[in-house]
Amino acid sequence: MTDQRGRRDGGSRSGGPRQGQGGDPRKSSSSRGDGKPRSSGGSGLDRKPFERKDGDKKPYERRDDKKSFDRKDGDRRPASERGGQRRGKPAGGQGERRIGGAPEQRERTVEQAVYDGPPIPDDITGTELDASIRAQLRSLPEKLALRVSRHLAAAGQLVDDDPETAYKHTLAAKARAARIAVVREAVGETAYAAGHYAEALAELRAAKRLNGATAYLPIMADCHRALGNPTRALELAKSPSVARFPSAAKAEMTIVEAGARRDLGQMDAALRTLEVSPLNSKSREPWVVRLRYAYADTLEAAGRLNDALTWFHKTNAIDSDEVTDAAERAESLEKRVDRG
């Protein structure tokens, strides 16, 4: 799931849950699959459960002078003869209550709602996930793995258009498989897309602890920015592992680093950070589009409107998939430059 999504400074998100980089995820240990703890074994099993002292009343003993079902006139009749119902059990089944004669289901608790998650469309089977993700779920019981994979697949389909519902799907997956790294990664990425930055940061940290991957660092750094801690974002940007990132992930971290410099009021440093990146790459990959867009946006923020206009045009020239709104930004900026 770690094909990086667009930063808050520009660009759009893409895709659904994907496998992160790094080592294999740790398998869940001592899991029963039902979420219940194993018995500790110290429950007093040395005492015989049905042991009875001599002289105690025998459990089914009755006197011969009175039959079991003899009833004196005037005694209460059994409920079946009275046409009533037993007290203590509401009509309509356990867990229901009647209002105006119709059964009403009790409202689900917050925990139950999270566990259930949003409805999963019938056409989502879980096979939509990448094979590497499905492989991580094989440590789960088959039915549980199927449910988790369907929630993750649903999240992947919704994350761009409805990130909040996608986030709820991943929370349902987490409620069933919290020790699977790719599940925590999915929760982190959908939380980030939905704007829940503290939750995203916590989940991506958990995923990193589980599988040792560092590909989450750009999103984690941007979460720090969103939470008002640009200094911490810069610290992550200088992590030694960033130098070994592939081009796309490295570009994303560059964009976050420049944004953190802007947050600190260091506009010149932000421009220098972007200028040492491959802005003039001949590639038309989305990461190049986002780099150019971030540079144009920073130039405009610095008051260099003509240069910003040039780079918005350069961005639009390679943005065939309309990853950004560079065309609209260029059109708007042209009016301002002409008036100047």
The single residue listed with the structure tokens 């059990």 is 89
CATH architecture of the domain 1-6+109-212 equals Alpha Horseshoe (1.25)
Percentage of the residues of the chain whose pLDDT score is greater than 90: 65
- pLDDT-wise least confident of 21-30, 83-92, 259-268: 21-30
Average pLDDT over residues 249-263: 98
Question: Would you give the DSSP letter of residue 69?
Answer: T
- Count other Cβ atoms within 10 Å, centred on residue 120: 16
pTM of the complete model beyond 0.85: no
The 3-state DSSP class for residue 94 equals: coil
Q: How confident is the model at residue 30 (pLDDT cuts 50, 70, 90)?
A: very low
The single residue listed with the structure tokens 């979460």 is 223
- Count other Cβ atoms within 10 Å, centred on residue 312: 29
Question: Would you give the DSSP letter of residue 10?
Answer: B
Q: What is the pLDDT of residues 231-254, one digit of tens each?
A: 999 999 999 999 999 999 999 999
* Alpha helices by DSSP H, the chain: 79-82, 110-116, 131-136, 142-158, 163-176, 181-193, 197-211, 217-226, 230-237, 247-263, 267-275, 286-301, 305-318, 326-339
Close Cβ partners of 174 (under 8 Å, ≥ 6 residues apart) = 183, 184, 187, 203
Q: Give the per-residue pLDDT at 106.
A: 60
The structure tokens listed for 263 are 């947050």
Domain positions in the chain: 1-6+109-212
Average pLDDT over residues 281-291: 96
Q: Give the per-residue pLDDT at 44.
A: 34
Q: What is the pLDDT of residues 136-166, one digit of tens each?
A: 999 999 999 999 999 999 999 999 999 999 9
Per residue, the 3-state secondary structure of 30-52, as one string, reads: CCCCCCCCCCCCCCCCCCCCCCC
Q: Give the per-residue pLDDT at 340.
A: 59
The structure tokens listed for 337 are 């430059």
Q: Give the per-residue pLDDT at 31.
A: 35
Return the closest-CA partner of residue 236 out of 265, 215, 211: 215
Q: Give the per-residue pLDDT at 251.
A: 97
Q: What is the pLDDT of residues 163-182, one digit of tens each?
A: 999 999 999 999 999 999 99
Q: What is the pLDDT of residues 318-340, one digit of tens each?
A: 999 999 999 999 999 998 887 65
227 vs 93 pLDDT, higher one: 227
Check whether 99 has a pLDDT greater than 60.
Answer: no
Distance (Å, rounded) from C-alpha 109 to C-alpha 118?
A: 14
Q: Left (φ > 0), alpha (ψ -120 to 50) or beta: where does 294 sit?
A: alpha
Percentage of the residues of the chain whose pLDDT score is greater than 70: 68
Return the closest-CA partner of residue 192 out of 214, 160, 234, 215: 160
Q: What's the whole-number average pLDDT of the chain?
A: 79
Check whether 303 has a pLDDT greater than 80.
Answer: yes
Check whether 117 has a pLDDT greater than 90.
Answer: yes
The structure tokens listed for 86 are 């037993």
